[in-house]
Structure 1
Amino acid sequence: MRAARLPIPPRCLSSAARCRQIPVAHRSFHVELRTLVRGNGIGSSRTHEPNWTGSTPSHSLSQQLHRRALSLASVLSVSPEVADAVARGDPVVALESTIITHGLPHPINISTALALEQTIRDVGCIPATVAIIDGVVRVGLGPEDIEKLAVLGKGAKKTSRWDLASVVANGLTGSTTVSSTSLAAHLAGIKVFATGGIGGVHRGGEDTLDISADLTELSRTPVTVVCAGAKAILDIPRTVEYLETQGVPVLTLADGDHPPGLPIPVPAFYTRDSGVPSPTVVRSAAEVARMMATSAVLTPPSGLLLCVPIPTSLAADTEFISRVIDQAVEKARNRGLKGAEVTPWILAEVERESGGEAGKANVGLVINNARVACQVATEYAALARASTTPFAPAPEKEIAQNAAEETDQADGLPVGDGGERVGEGVGRTSRVDELRGRLRVKDKYARPIIIGGATLDITATLLPSSHPTHGTSSPGHVHHSPGGVARNVAEACFRLGVDPVLVTCVGDDVAGETLLGHMEGVGMGTREVRKVAGRRTAVYTAVHGAGGDLEVAVADMDLLAGIGEDVVGEALDRNLNPRTPLIAFDGNISPSAVRHLLRRANQVGVSCLFEPTSVPKSVRIVDAVASATGGLEGADARGMVETVRYLTPNIAELGAIASRVREKRKEAGVVGWEEMSGESLKRFEELEPVLQDIPTLLPDILTLHSFFTHPRFTVVTKLGPRGVLLSHRVPATAEGEECQPSWYIDPFPYTTPNGENHTKLRIKHRPARKSVDVVSVTGAGDSLVGCLVAGVSMFGPDKKLDDVVCAGIAAAEMTVGVRSAVAESLGPGLLEEVECDEDGEGGALRYLF
């Protein structure tokens, strides 16, 4: 049970804890602040926060950013559903609202707007209708908001980019045009926007300079606008010329219905042929997504215009539409209509003259554009996830404070002969959203990748009154719980506030469904969980006597051998990129998969954590490296051992790994740590009593440190009830408390491949609490490792290592007090508010929760 929380001064709180004290109405300032930071050329991706301490910031730019961001908080609101989807990189499609208020009559406008949103949801995307409600720019409307706009109709102010500030400042309600919708979508991190048609150069614009703000907005806002071309009432040739002058790519989708052998023209809203050849023709959504990705890395980026011809079945007769529009334009000129009045009046005239057919075509082409926009958004999202280059600088990975797990938009896309990936369908999203919001999972942190085993643990305990008889059943209690090292680590990491990518396999059986159901019930993602047809899920079944002693156990782990190079490679293809904070893998994956993983991580520059799992499996890390080139030498082997940054063995696993290293070194004739002076070793044993109690501990640790060559290599040795022994390299130039002479070996014989000498090896014992009520030790070490993965993802690899390890010990202590493999009481507050407190006796925990 948690103790009552005492008031803590803001300056003593972590940044995440301070964020929780911000009133809800003001939290959205973090969204724009990230955009402002990028827009001002600042390379940081971290959230800048207001100065809660009352002191004066050292940089005037920070003051300016805070003032601008805080003011935006009162005028921009992104719905939780949209913010969550954007934050996790799911496809989102923005929609304008002028079609609701000015484009269609009531009640057709309501049904059309709702049908548009449903069309987008039906294909697995998230709609984000944009409007201004009572002076607040809203991105993502509810049905009641749409109805309000539809009833208000032309009473709502049709709002472009130029008068957006006026409408907001005066607290008005307005509908957004292409230009204002594009701006709002960009601020919310949305990449794709579907509409009917864009504005352009009006007829006679060469004299009046009546040119829509849509065109200039496209040139400066990196959003892809999907439409049926410029509205037919405009001067389309000049519109295309103006867009080219502004540097906006004009694309036309070849849908297969164009006459063969002729140039594909830019469509003209009601008709498929404007008479203007398209500057660029594309034939798939994937091609558009690639152009978006390329455009994103150009400076400055611009929007793209994708023109989708109206379906042939809805297209109007070109001659008829031209005649009606010409007459309507002449009438408008005679009436003296100007500016924003012109387009709605002409469209109404076209609707009247066509007997209502133009309105039906308008609705049909908008829905068709929305479908194409979903395809583009889905392809772009997939490309962004799979890319090893962070080509998308927009804030989609950092907007939401609480976000739902990414859904698999592939709709059963095959991922290999070994099985299919399990993705959350649309029906599961709301439940996942609710759970993730409750746990405060923070998608502002880049996602670590966790690879390895998932099992179902079944424990049967005989009743004291039972007398087991061979050949018959006996009364008892049966408990089943999700297990598996990688799965446990991933759940602990998730509960602590960082959303990992879990890569594992389950069978298509009851045990597999049980594991999937538990993960989805917690809110975890299962996108990279492969369900293998015709195979049994890994299950561990144990029978305990009435006194708790193990009588017999059966381990059915054949499926885990299927976590091979193909499964690992495909998952890395989709998820590994330079922003990945860490790859953690357990000893269940095959040696070939280990080699493939380490090579890929080394190529991208991402560090790895190895959790040994068991004594027999612990040596796989050494065998994988040694067998890469037939020995311990060679660039391939050196690159792999340098990629391993963290090892988390228990004492037995540590000894097994060290013994295997010595065997391999002896075979290769390589000398290890044995050259170190006995005086240095003796001094360490005197400083840390635990090293005297376990004589093999220090030699084994030093063996690992002289084998794995990452410059900041770290071993977190789990000592059971005695806590953790933390040993890690410190650069020779490091200064400060962590490098006190009593805490490190100096010199330590290690030189990096580039000749940089890291001579300080820091070793520190972190004890556990002396009294903990133990229910089950299963999963305690995994909870500690999950905390380490979460901490590295939150703070970076070089910061707060002591605090993270101490929080990991606390997580393990919480887990041993429950029957499940991961304590449900784990939460983000543990990493935010647990710190190490030096007491002169090796360290202790200070609990602030």
Structure 2
Amino acid sequence: MLQNLLSSLCRRISTSCCRSGKYDYLFKVHPSVSEALAEQRPVVALESTIITHGMPYPHNLSTAKEVEAIVRAEGATPATVGILEGVIHVGLSSEELDFLAQSKTALKVSRRDFPYVISKGLSGGTTVSGTMIAAHRVGIPVFVTGGIGGVHRDGENSLDVSADLIELGRTPIAVVSAGVKSILDIGRTLEFLETQGVCVATYGKSKNFPAFFSPQSGFTSPYNVHTAEEAAELIVSTLSLGLQSGLLLAVPITEEHAAAGLQIEGAIQAAVAEARLKGITGKYVTPFILQRVSELTKGQSLQANIALIHNNAKVGSQIACALSEQMKSRQSGLRGSSKTQEEKNHLLKPKPVVIGGVNVDFIAKGATKNLLFGQTNPGSVHQAFGGVGRNIADCLSRLGHKPLFISAIGTDFHSDAVLNYCKHMDTSAIVRLQAQRTATYCAVITERGELSLGLGDMDIHQQIKQQYVSQYEEQLSSASLVVLDGNIPVSTIDYVCSLAKKHSVPVWYEPTDADKAGKPFLSDSWKALSYTSPNLTELCTMNHTLHLPTPEAFPNSLEDVLKCAAALSRPLLEHLQCVVVTLGALGVLVCGDYEAGTVSLQPRKHKPRGRLCAVYFPALAVRSEEIVNVSGAGDSLAGGMMAGILQGKDTDTCVRMGLLAARLSLSSCHPIAPSLTSDAINPDAAYSQPWTKPSYLWMDN
């Protein structure tokens, strides 16, 4: 029976996913979801009413993208379900998420609403029950949401029972949620689920059934599972038995948010009592309570809600991954097969290697136009994770190229936070050094996100020595691309460049700042580089290190800036294939070998003798109010371009991918935006406005 189940799940993977085949046009499955299902990789379904009705804009959009990013970071593929113009979408692009988030006419779509919405060609967000139907139809066994509906207070008289509970009784899918909100009748909800034959289990050590903002509701679940693996075994048993009923996994609020959760629960109880005193009944009760809770907690309930959803996404994704592994293991046992040659080839496929620094960043942003030194300024402070090498490795990982990241951290409390945040990356080559401090960086930025002052404790970067890096000589020798950041020691740069030259491996040097830009140019190591991406100041340092003339002052006009950048790049192109000069808000100048009407970016083992050219790409327009900080824009630009090069894209596409990644970074509090995906920087889909045509600056023989 299990073998049949697995085969059935694997067949339902394409856009033509309806069982009858007659109504295939009603469903559209995103290619990433289809591919993951085809390869039996973990997929997590996500609802969309939280986008259309659950939160105000832009919180709804940022939360949706953050949740998808968490799912990806845990190793699963997100499949947000929604309806656009009468078509059920399983998996949404960045543009489609934007559309739903800003839609004023999107409907709330449950089982009963599907026929009308589809027949009229309308758009909407799917509820828990609606998402369950779509996910089950295409073969996704795990669905993550915030909380399910339930039996409403006074439901024994009003008969107001959520369709979610009925759906759980007839659709075999595992729903991961934070339980049921205490504005509902939790006791009767659990009784109703029992009547529907729904298996309910709390995730964790306790059987206490959570009440959304509280880890305890006063009621207990029939069962509990301690780990993702136990939860996966429970799901396999449910599916194998063919019971045609669902499974509810209730995840308690995390300890760090439990205190705030208790305060919110107090506000809920106060709002419930107020509703009774005012005689509010029926369908008006829930909206009244939610509004009063938001007022009483001064918006704290929204932040706790987001934190809950993040945690559910993390746990649900871990369960989906464990379920995928168990299904593959059982299928392999039934068929008696080992890895296919295709799988073996995939494991042996060359991948990028990034060598550079990791920082724990503390970003202090002023709330006023001007910062006054020598006194306290109003503002906000948040923690992020940076470092040029880490940023580029993060960017490539989110874009489908998971590089080996070689770096060093300490054994302090920062190191655990770094590794936890970077779970979506290959951190196996990050060494933890005793009696060393993880690098930290404190930046004071203006209201517009521009750097005012920075302080760094980065001595540990000097411990990324040749002796350690040489342990990964095999990976370096066969890498598709090696990226070096300027934080690492000169001796390490020299070693890697020598190895890369010997094995014809392309190397990208990211200079990090003017003081470190000249490191490869202290010897002949620079002649082994293929790419570098300096700003104008760093480019001057490179020329100065080679004892070449540099301007005493930079020009003011764009035309003169471009001429200056081109002239400074020209001597480097005697050996480098491409110099990418970053010009901040002005854009980027790409200089290198001329081929087919533009600069050639694809790696070459031998440098051709031919013409050189420079192509100027203006920056994308970004409104000043959208800029959160500028610290990761350059790294995002470089990472986006690298991803394009690794995918074999043409030069225009590579640069546009980089510019789109940089724009995402500018509007994020993180150096690399968690919402960064291949879809988000697809030039054909992600940027609807026409591109400014790139212009040539010079060409020679």
Shorter chain as denominator, the TM-score bin is 0.3 to 0.5
